[in-house]
Structure 1
Amino acid sequence: MSQFTFESGRRNLRSLAAVLPAAVLAAALLGLAPASSEPVRKSGYAIGTESCGSGDLAFPRIQIDMKAGFCAGLVASEEDRLRFPRSIVQVPGRDLFVVADMGGWGHADGRLLLLDPHAPQGLRFKELLTGIEYPFGLVIGPDRKLYASTAEAIFRFDPLADNPRSTVETIIRHMPGRRITLPDGTRLDESAHPLKQFVFDRNGRLFVNVGSHSDDCITPAPITKPCAAAEGASALASIWLFTPPAGGVFPALKPREPDPPHTVYARGLRNSMALALHPNFPDAGYAFLQAENARDLPDIFKPNEEINAIEQGKHYGWPYCYDLSTPSPEFRLVLQSGVYKSLCSANALYKAPLSLLPPHGAPLAMLYYHGAKFPELEGKLLVGLHGYRPTGSRLLVYDVDDHGFPKPAPAPVRYHVSCAADPTRSFQTDAGEVAVAPFEELIAGWHRVNGARPQGAPVGMTVAEDGAIWLVEDKNKTVIRIDRAAGDPPAPLPCDMRSQAMIDQLAVFVARDAQNSARLTTLRNGLVEKHCVGCHTDFGLRPGQSEAEKDGAVLRFMLSQDGWIYPGDPDAGKLRTRLRGLGAEKLMPPGGESLPKTELGYKRLLDAADLLVAKMVPGTRMRIKAGPPQRKFYGKTNKECGEIPAAKVVVVTQRSAVDKPGFSRFFRPADPYLNGECTDDDGYYIRQEFLVPVQ
């Protein structure tokens, strides 16, 4: 690494941000060739002239959709040689931060880095410790020292020392890590959840996440015994408690000295990556909160993630229960007798979630905000969602009561789904809609937008002494600082930035297909011109156009709208949900609920719209084979492009891809399934055996 630089003369990044005319950036976002240069991009973010922050803490403003009064500045990116940053914390009393860069899954070359945000770009990081296996947790302890974790250990060190490694003092070193042996003797070389998040309470007690070894602990049926790995005095899927000696500080372990004793504080918690203690905890009645990453199921909207109110000795359900009280069917026999009899519904051992979080949101960070910069957030609970599915990639804000607990509200309570035909859904379980704690979104839109930004991947989060909120993204390799912004927020970026070239190609496909051309004409005559023109727009229709020109104008208008049409997949687009009144948004056209009864052939018109979308691209419609919840797909060079839910339909353009043996090529899927790593020019490929005919 370059020599770390502390500067007395601090620069203003506002004057150094890459400069691009707004028109050039807009053209780039729309997929049009810019008149001159391409926009500057860092870690996938388009960098313009605006900054977030002030003075030498002004950083290039990135285009993520935020609550009014807030902005996000890009402090560091992959250009700063970040690999996979997972957490961040400020050094007490200094305008410096420590970042845990894990390096990646399967790596043992993690690093702890010192970040000086005032240093010139490219010189902001200094390596403190290297060769660390899975560094994750970063916490300021009760002694004001900096504590960090690996997959198996927790240690403290001085990040400002000339030789930080010489200051390392390990306080715990033999927790279950990556390589573990299960009670039945099974050896795992890579446990599913080896990372160690941890928190101290104000008495110096240490609470540590010990994650589960697998997603669901399912073994070959019939399952007649409890999940052995989650039992006993060293249970996985639990929170362990370590109590310090008198004085409240753990001593450094000497060579071959045993770890301090621990107790299992709470069980049935699959992976406690987000932990938050109210400042008054452990006083009676104050909150100890955990955000649960629930098991995976094939349904993209099931199960919900959870916020749990942790109490000593309680069981929180994994792997036997999910949502509020839904039994896992695989453990039906276990739930019929013994200690776990009726665990999910009528057992004093079980404590149901305090509230639910959006399904598959993947909460990886949670804290109470305390700072002067954002008085409106004071005392509120912030939860970061890392999940790549359309319910993730956002930052939530909860109102809490005087003891720090989010306050549930009666059903229905809704959450947002990015780039979906139905943009909101109500929280529900198998029993129907349920009461949950409502929240605001500090960051609401962080879905991928071609040319503007990648999909958000927030992991670690901290509040600096000046009240600014700092985030790190692992996949995007960034450090982000949230500051105050003046004026109205920018308009949210749309989901589907379909290029003009793509629109032209789709228009040609429709024009060459006689049946689809007829469907388009029917749709224009019977729906657009009869019921839609004049409500909001003219759909590109002009006096003097020929019939073919009218068809082309209507088609191009619909293809240019955000999320209206995903070729080959009518269920994913707003055109179907709005015409049929399937989602929370208003039915269109106005009064459309009566049209199937009053207008002959209206239902056939809706069917024609579905067929137009389904048959828009030449190819064979095939279904993703049942099995794992998601099937990965790739680009031509084997870059991972995203995942598609089982049972989803895609349009296969090459059953046996000519340039990728063993794979089928298919047309670009709906945006929610793309991870932003690939382009349309790469193509989209999936293994042939994952496709089955549509019945």
Structure 2
Amino acid sequence: MRGSIVAGVAGLTVLAAAFTQTLGAQARTQAATRIYAVHGDCGGHPRVEAGMAPGLCLGRVWQWSATTPGPRMPRTLFRLADDDWLVADLGSWDAGRGAIWRMRIGADGAVGWTRLLGGLSMPHTMARGPDGRIYVAEMSRIFVFDPARPEATTAAVSDLPDNRLHENRHPLSAFVFDGDGALLVNVGAPSDRCVDARGRPNRDARGQCAERAGQAMVRRYAYLGNGRWSREWTPYATGLRNSVAMVRHGSGAIYQAENSVDLNTPERPFDEINRLKPGADYGWPYCTDMATALPGWTAAEARCGRRQSPVSLLPPHAAPLDMLYYEGAMFPELRGRMLMSWHGHRRAAGRIVAIEVDAEGAPLTDRPARYAIYPRGSMPYPPDAPAPRARVLTPGWNAVRGTRPQGSPVGMAVAGDGAIWVADDRAAAVLRIARE
């Protein structure tokens, strides 16, 4: 009997070792599929084997490895100088694992990292405020940050929901400064589309979505001057599922890129570009596309006709996560255009696009129109819906085993020379779009 037990334990040990080896092999295989192979030169950095628009190339500034320190999930970039950057590292989708890193580029192109802050909860947006200081959005607050004294942080806004990913589908804070210094802050929707596991609406006593109070909106915190903001907030725009990507145009217009709901189809629903107007409602969780009631809510409940319509649709599940207006010198043909990163993992995503805009920064649109999909081909937008007039800068950023992963671009920043720097969080890489 004892021999049987020993044999059984030995067998379990062998099985456990085999299982561990299998997991290790899977992890190595997964890591290998995320490596960017390089060949040649792109503006002084190793050239990534990715299909780019004519005249452009993609350089690998840095990519994480087991022997290379640095951020595990780089999400956003902030330029201090051309050889000196801040990088927000999400760390993971758990509280307390995020960090702010300082990235310095040597004369030989070598990248050095310094971890300035740790223990953060999903840090994301970084921007310079009206007082000249640097502001960082964490899950439940926005704080002031000085790279020279990283330990001395001060909260500017501290009453944001203390969300968790598995309790709240959209825990990231993001913000833009309005022209008067007010902070416009994303508070994402707590669920995908305000329905229960059976697809029944989560209604309040009035028959409306019970999850919208204080969330699924952009809040406005008035600027009081001298680096202080009001503790009281007002709703700036409501019915927004997740406003991680926002930008203010020089004309004063505010634009938001909406990640629409997650229906189990690659063809619907479409993501959106919205111009945010004070007091307007943008329809979450009742409406999507131009005027389509979402499953679980009747057309009468959705009241799509009362919703503020998008200025343009985007491909389904593109997952736009950043937008900025390009004003660099390297690409004069892109000057003034709206750059947008499409992060999602489905067939339309893994792209950076440059959208033509009008004098107020709004996308110029076409009807009818199509969007490209991987590995090849295209799909139509709804015939009567506006679609952005855009140039795809990265048309060949789909996954090719042994060569590249599918691109997962998040934050973008423009360097002093006009090159476009990009953070890829799934591949843990910092990349650079330059002239061929």
For the criterion TM > 0.5, the same-fold answer is yes
| Cα drift, residue 189 of structure 1 | 5.6
- After superposition, the Cα gap between the structure-2 partners of 1:43 and 1:389, relative to the gap in structure 1 and judged at 3 Å, is closer
Structure (1/2) with the larger strand percentage: 2
Structure (1/2) with the larger helix percentage: 1
Who is 1:367 aligned against?
Answer: 324
Identical pairs, percent: 38
Report the 3-state secondary structure (helix = DSSP H, G, I; strand = E; otherwise coil) of the residue aligned with 1:376.
Answer: helix
User: Equivalents in 1 of 2:141, 2:254: separation in Å?
Assistant: 23
Answer whether contact 1:410 1:434 (CA < 8 A) is retained.
Answer: yes
Structure 2 residue aligned with 1:467, among 407, 415, 418? 418
Report the 3-state secondary structure (helix = DSSP H, G, I; strand = E; otherwise coil) of the residue aligned with 2:151.
Answer: helix
- Per-residue CA deviation, residues 352-378 of structure 1 (Å, 9 max, x unaligned), is 111000101100111111111111111
Who is 1:500 aligned against?
Answer: none
User: Equivalents in 2 of 1:418, 1:222: separation in Å?
Assistant: 34
**Structure 1 residue ranges without an equivalent (≥5):** 1-40, 180-187, 252-258, 282-286, 486-695
Who is 1:18 aligned against?
Answer: none
Report the 3-state secondary structure (helix = DSSP H, G, I; strand = E; otherwise coil) of the residue aligned with 1:243.
Answer: strand
Structure 1 residue aligned with 2:45, among 59, 63, 88? 59
| Cα drift, residue 277 of structure 1 | 0.7
Larger radius of gyration: 1
Who is 2:245 aligned against?
Answer: 274
- Per-residue CA deviation, residues 594-641 of structure 1 (Å, 9 max, x unaligned), is xxxxxxxxxxxxxxxxxxxxxxxxxxxxxxxxxxxxxxxxxxxxxxxx
Who is 1:29 aligned against?
Answer: none
Who is 1:354 aligned against?
Answer: 311
Who is 2:37 aligned against?
Answer: 46
- After superposition, the Cα gap between the structure-2 partners of 1:88 and 1:60, relative to the gap in structure 1 and judged at 3 Å, is same
Q: Are 1:230 and 2:209 matched, yes or no? A: no
Map of 1:182-261 to 2, 5 A cutoff? 190-219=167-196, 221=200, 225-231=207-213, 235-246=214-225, 249-250=227-228, 260-261=231-232
Answer whether contact 2:38 2:46 (CA < 8 A) is retained.
Answer: yes
1:361 maps to amino acid? A
TM-score, with structure 1 as normaliser? 0.55
Answer whether contact 1:42 1:77 (CA < 8 A) is retained.
Answer: no
Answer whether contact 2:367 2:384 (CA < 8 A) is retained.
Answer: no
Structure 2 residue aligned with 1:393, among 334, 344, 350? 350
| Cα drift, residue 438 of structure 1 | 2.1
Map of 1:139-150 to 2, 5 A cutoff? 139-150=127-138
| Cα drift, residue 47 of structure 1 | 2.1
- Per-residue CA deviation, residues 524-579 of structure 1 (Å, 9 max, x unaligned), is xxxxxxxxxxxxxxxxxxxxxxxxxxxxxxxxxxxxxxxxxxxxxxxxxxxxxxxx
TM-score, with structure 2 as normaliser? 0.87
Who is 2:379 aligned against?
Answer: 425
1:71 maps to amino acid? C
User: Equivalents in 2 of 1:342, 1:296: separation in Å?
Assistant: 18
Report the 3-state secondary structure (helix = DSSP H, G, I; strand = E; otherwise coil) of the residue aligned with 2:86.
Answer: strand
Structure 2 residue aligned with 1:405, among 359, 362, 369? 362
1:393 maps to amino acid? G
Answer whether contact 1:368 1:382 (CA < 8 A) is retained.
Answer: yes
Who is 1:438 aligned against?
Answer: 389
User: Equivalents in 1 of 2:179, 2:223: separation in Å?
Assistant: 12
| Cα drift, residue 176 of structure 1 | 0.8
Who is 1:111 aligned against?
Answer: 99
Who is 2:271 aligned against?
Answer: 305
User: Equivalents in 2 of 1:266, 1:139: separation in Å?
Assistant: 21
User: Equivalents in 2 of 1:152, 1:260: separation in Å?
Assistant: 14
What is the Cα-based RMSD across aligned positions, in Å? 2.0
2:381 maps to amino acid? F
Q: Are 1:263 and 2:234 matched, yes or no? A: yes
- After superposition, the Cα gap between the structure-2 partners of 1:222 and 1:447, relative to the gap in structure 1 and judged at 3 Å, is closer
| Cα drift, residue 381 of structure 1 | 0.4
Answer whether contact 2:374 2:398 (CA < 8 A) is retained.
Answer: yes
Structure 1 residue aligned with 2:303, among 333, 336, 343? 343
Map of 1:536-685 to 2, 5 A cutoff? none
2:292 maps to amino acid? T
Report the 3-state secondary structure (helix = DSSP H, G, I; strand = E; otherwise coil) of the residue aligned with 1:61.
Answer: strand
Who is 2:333 aligned against?
Answer: 376
- After superposition, the Cα gap between the structure-2 partners of 1:342 and 1:130, relative to the gap in structure 1 and judged at 3 Å, is closer
- After superposition, the Cα gap between the structure-2 partners of 1:123 and 1:407, relative to the gap in structure 1 and judged at 3 Å, is closer
| Cα drift, residue 484 of structure 1 | 1.2
Report the 3-state secondary structure (helix = DSSP H, G, I; strand = E; otherwise coil) of the residue aligned with 1:265.
Answer: strand
- After superposition, the Cα gap between the structure-2 partners of 1:131 and 1:222, relative to the gap in structure 1 and judged at 3 Å, is closer
| Cα drift, residue 222 of structure 1 | 6.2
Answer whether contact 2:313 2:385 (CA < 8 A) is retained.
Answer: no
| Cα drift, residue 42 of structure 1 | 9.9
Answer whether contact 2:363 2:388 (CA < 8 A) is retained.
Answer: yes
- After superposition, the Cα gap between the structure-2 partners of 1:75 and 1:321, relative to the gap in structure 1 and judged at 3 Å, is same
| Cα drift, residue 328 of structure 1 | 1.6
Report the 3-state secondary structure (helix = DSSP H, G, I; strand = E; otherwise coil) of the residue aligned with 1:45.
Answer: coil
Who is 2:12 aligned against?
Answer: none
- After superposition, the Cα gap between the structure-2 partners of 1:414 and 1:131, relative to the gap in structure 1 and judged at 3 Å, is same
1:371 maps to amino acid? G
Answer whether contact 2:84 2:105 (CA < 8 A) is retained.
Answer: yes
